[in-house]
Amino acid sequence: MFVGLFLFYFLFFPEVSNHVEHDLSFRNYGVQVDNSTHGGMRCVSSSCLCRVRPGEIPDPVTSLLPSERRVSIYFSEDSSEVTSSQNSKIDRAQGDLSDLNPREITIIGYTDGCGSRDYNTNLARERMETVRDRVRRQFPGRRLRTVVAGEGSRGHDARARRVDIVFHTRRTVTTEIEKIPADVYLIDASGSMWSQWRRWTDVINASFEPGSRIYLSTALRCPGSRSLDNVSPGGRTEIWYSYWTILDYMSPGETLLIISDFDSDIPLTRSESSVISRKVQSRQITVRTVNL
Domain extents in the chain: 9-57+179-291, 61-170
- Quote the DSSP letter at residue 147: E
- Total-model pTM: 0.56
* 127: Cα separation from own chain's centroid: 22
Q: How is domain 61-170 classified at the CATH fold level?
A: 60s Ribosomal Protein L30; Chain: A; (3.30.1330)
| DSSP calls for 88-101 | HHHHHHHHHTTTT-
For 204-240, b/e burial (b = at least 16 CB within 10 A) is bbbbbbeebbbbbbbbbebbeeeebeebebebbbbbb
Instruction: Report whether CATH 3.30.70 matches the domain 9-57+179-291.
Output: no
> What is the band of 48 on the pLDDT scale with cuts at 50, 70, 90?
confident
Q: CA dist 286 to 55, 63, 130, 139, 251, Å? A: 25, 30, 33, 33, 11
> What is the band of 67 on the pLDDT scale with cuts at 50, 70, 90?
very low
Among 17-31, 36-50, 152-166, 193-207, the least confident range: 17-31
Query: What is the structure's pLDDT at 51?
Result: 93
Q: 144 near 168, Cβ under 8 Å?
A: no
- Which has more confidence, 248 or 205? 248
Query: What is the structure's pLDDT at 38?
Result: 53
Q: 174 near 7, Cβ under 8 Å?
A: yes
Among 64-73, 77-86, 237-246, the least confident range: 64-73
Task: Quote the strand ranges of 75-211, DSSP E.
Answer: 104-111, 143-151, 162-168, 184-188
> What is the band of 75 on the pLDDT scale with cuts at 50, 70, 90?
very high
Same fold, 9-57+179-291 and 61-170: no
> What is the band of 84 on the pLDDT scale with cuts at 50, 70, 90?
confident
Is it the case that residue 178 has pLDDT exceeding 70? no
pLDDT in tens, 207-248: 777 788 999 999 888 877 788 888 888 888 888 889 989 999
Q: 110 near 163, Cβ under 8 Å?
A: yes
> What is the band of 63 on the pLDDT scale with cuts at 50, 70, 90?
low
